[in-house]
Structure 1
Amino acid sequence: MKIAIIGMGPAGTGVVRTLRRHDSDAEITMFSAENVPPYSPPALGDYLITGNKEGLFRHEDDFFKTYNVKQRPGEKIVQVMPEEKQLKTQNNEIFDFDHLVIASGSSLYAPVKGADKKGIYNFKTLDGADQIKRISQEDKTAVVLGGGFIGVEIALCLAKIGIKPTLLNRRGWIMPRLLDVETAGYVEKDLRAQGVEVLLNTEGKEFVGNESVDGLLTSNGKTLTADIYIAATGVKPNIDFIKDTDIEYDQGIVVDEKLRTRYPYIYACGDVAQTIDLLSGKRKIHGLYPVAMDHAQTAACNILGMEREYERPVNINSLKELGFKIIVVGNQKAEEVFEYKTENILRKIYITADKIVGFVLLGDISNAGIYLSLLKKKTNVAKFKHRLLSKGFSPGFLPGMGGVN
């Protein structure tokens, strides 16, 4: 059995590990557009700040030898031929497969004119992080376009290595898709305290310059200049190689409950897979490490004939580089909102039809695991919802754990 895997990130390597736990004979070949060993993109921020590669390269010293995998780093796939069960590389080499796993990850994206110019860095790749490290000095400046989760994370990382970032957001508050105005105020205050200049109600209209970027023209008519430019208004899956096929895609590749495309021998995992959200019931991309791990196990099991469905995910976001801990889960709109706050702590739980649909924990993240469990199980919390944020709340309040009956 020949198994081809496009991508060497967490989803791709996770597929290999699961396959090899049950099958030592299958011929596995991994392809990657990046000419580097497998690494963990979520660790790029820590690597940029500390230079520590241990968290970045969390795999065995010789992953490919350990798991008996053929490696093709730097071999970008340019075409998938589903009917023929073949792949074509940028060098026009053809590879046959019996099963294909698409785990090619995602890239930063900004629908702004000139975003393809030279001099705009891709922080989601090791090469992009290394480029920033090479030019980083305390007198350097950066413009980060996009005040969502990714943009905020990048700006904080840059500030911690002495670069002076300016962060643009077109809305009137930071991370508008994840946070309400009140919660965003805590984040914005910390950003400014760490040296990040925040420009709200400001859009990037065009990256100006000839072949290389010389500045960013904004919606207020000003042109911002810097040493480093990063476009981070969103991400898009790396799936150009399927766009001339009949594999269905929307935001990402559309899959069934077993992560199969319309071809039962082609799977999609991680950032490229558009799966059903636990809360909304709608298909969306969940670019989260735990989701990639679940997808990896699911795809591998189904390749081996071991029936398994993916766990419907819920959005979970956490920013490590703020001056406080914060976890944002699920929806921030609901019928009821329970809240506790002090100067440095904000805790909110969102409840609809007596079920938790989301929560924000800022400064104090205690009981996050309990709330997440209640949310995922869709537990009726009517009898104890007023105590969810009390200091004495514990699993003892929960049905079946000696608590509420």
Structure 2
Amino acid sequence: MFKHIVIIGNSAAGIAAAEAVRSKNKEIKLTIITQEDYCGYYRYFLPEMLDNSIAEKDLIFKQKDFYQQSKINLILNRKVEKINVKRKQIFLQDKTKIDYDSVIITSGRTMKPPKGLKGANKNGVVSIDNIVQLKQIKKLIHCCQTVCILGANFAGSKIPVFLSKLGLDVKLFVSPDDFLSVILEQKGRDFFKEYSQRNGFELISPADVVEIFGDSDIKAVKLDSGKVIGCSMLIIDKYYQPNTKFICDTVLETQNGIVVDEFLRTNVVGLFAAGNVAYNKAEWNCFWPESFAQGTAAGLNALAYVSQDADFQQYKGFPGVMNFSFLGLPGCCIGEINTSDINGSEELVSINSDGFTYKRIILKDDFVQGVVGIGKGIDLEVFSELILKKIKVTEFKNNLLSENVSCLLYSNAIGL
């Protein structure tokens, strides 16, 4: 009888895990459980649905025939209630019981406002975790004049552009722990405040919402500065917590997520975790590419476990290259960009106000640690090689901010 691998979650990590299993074994029993009523879709592009830049059907990147052809039992719209790790059984909310030999948890994270945020349960306070929530926002938009956005992470850094195109008054509140605050230093923050005004929305930083006013519907928000701003919608893009409620009665170790080792194994034999729900002491950044890479490793290792194969695949982290969209501009990060993690770092910054480009280079002892580039036409490929090959840049440091830096460095024969 074939072994059974169950995957909880149907986004990047979950689908990658399933594909990894099937790449090595075509017959093992494989099940994916998701509480959503959709096949796999690109969550990163949800904001593009606000102004219909992307249709709902175009978000779906795995159709039902993928699951059928891959012999994957896809269970939609069913919530996992609990896992009994001793009996190796999963219980769904409708009392369905599923036996397993190995489980890969890829249930992701969900926005959960802190208890101290007064009024967070009012109508019009929303997040953008999934398609259902996105549709809710689209319905509410027609009744809105002013929309506030709390948090500038991946959704929050894209939404203002789409909402301002619809003629709405948009205000973006950025706190120090947001993605925007990490990738920009002070000059960059000031530059993008000006950029925001030119593009029809307001960026307020640093700022946090401490209270939400209104009866049943939101009417205004109060900032930590004491300022009160009227609005009829607050979109929250922070306070994300791992979806781990169904493991509360287990002995699974958690610490800002389900703790895993370098093989994506939890402290319970046969259980693996990957993506945003997983936590490793290396503090991996689980954006889409890394979640996919983790899912692949978890899938291969779960298969190795049920096959009693000692050849586990070590996950060493995803190469630090990340592409993103930032306030309507293309962006890219390479390497380590959080200077709070680098003692004795030095920064080089270049801003082109006319062309709306921003480049930030983080150095330590004249070695490039990380680079941020935002705007059209910025080529950061050469910096990947400087980082990977650990090339000291002392002799040409003054040229690193040049627009034709690639030509200059390659022509200088520095070993690239």
TM range (shorter): 0.7 to 0.9
Displacement of 1:327:
2.5
Alignment partners' CA distance in 2, 1:252 and 1:207: 28
Aligned ranges 1:293-332 → 2 under 5 Å: 293-305=292-304, 306-313=311-318, 318-320=323-325, 322-329=327-334, 330-332=336-338
| Contact 2:193–2:204 under 8 Å retained in 1 | no
Alignment correspondent of 2:31:
29
Partner SS state of residue 129, structure 2:
coil
Alignment partners' CA distance in 2, 1:398 and 1:246: 54
| Contact 1:275–1:312 under 8 Å retained in 2 | no
Change (3 A) 1:358 1:71: same
Alignment correspondent of 2:415:
404
Displacement of 1:299:
0.9
Given candidates 42, 45, 50, the residue that maps to 2:44 is 42
Alignment correspondent of 2:307:
none
TM-score, with normalisation over the residues of structure 2?
Answer: 0.84
| Residue identity (%) | 24
Displacement of 1:84:
2.2
Displacement of 1:304:
2.5
Displacement of 1:121:
1.7
1:347 equivalent in alignment to 2:359: yes
Alignment correspondent of 1:16:
18
Alignment partners' CA distance in 2, 1:385 and 1:394: 13
Alignment partners' CA distance in 2, 1:66 and 1:105: 25
Alignment correspondent of 1:236:
241
After the TM superposition, which parts of structure 1 deviate over 6 Å for at least 4 consecutive aligned residues? none
Aligned ranges 1:76-87 → 2 under 5 Å: 76-87=79-90
Displacement of 1:184:
1.5
What whole-Å deviation, never above 9, does each CA across 1:78-130 have from its counterpart, x for those lacking one? 21222322212122322111111111111224322332444322212110111
The alignment's C-alpha RMSD in Å is 3.1
TM-score, with normalisation over the residues of structure 1?
Answer: 0.86
Alignment correspondent of 1:196:
201
* Higher RCO (CA-CA < 8 Å; seq separation 6+): 2
Alignment partners' CA distance in 1, 2:137 and 2:399: 47
Change (3 A) 1:263 1:342: same
Partner SS state of residue 230, structure 1:
strand
What whole-Å deviation, never above 9, does each CA across 1:292-327 have from its counterpart, x for those lacking one? 111121111112225312232466555425354332
Change (3 A) 1:81 1:115: farther
| Contact 2:176–2:206 under 8 Å retained in 1 | yes
Amino acid paired to 1:155 = P
Displacement of 1:199:
3.2
Change (3 A) 1:23 1:335: same
Partner SS state of residue 290, structure 1:
helix
Amino acid paired to 1:9 = S
Displacement of 1:189:
1.9
Partner SS state of residue 367, structure 1:
coil
Amino acid paired to 1:48 = L
Alignment correspondent of 2:291:
292
Aligned ranges 1:137-156 → 2 under 5 Å: 137=142, 140-156=145-161
Aligned length: 398
Alignment partners' CA distance in 2, 1:166 and 1:391: 33
Partner SS state of residue 47, structure 2:
helix
Alignment correspondent of 1:375:
387
Given candidates 235, 241, 250, the residue that maps to 1:245 is 250
Displacement of 1:389:
3.3
Alignment correspondent of 1:394:
406
Displacement of 1:351:
1.1
Alignment partners' CA distance in 1, 2:179 and 2:60: 32
Alignment correspondent of 2:61:
58
Displacement of 1:224:
3.5
| Structure 2 unmatched runs, 5+ | 305-310
1:262 equivalent in alignment to 2:272: no
Change (3 A) 1:249 1:345: same
| Structure 1 unmatched runs, 5+ | 277-282
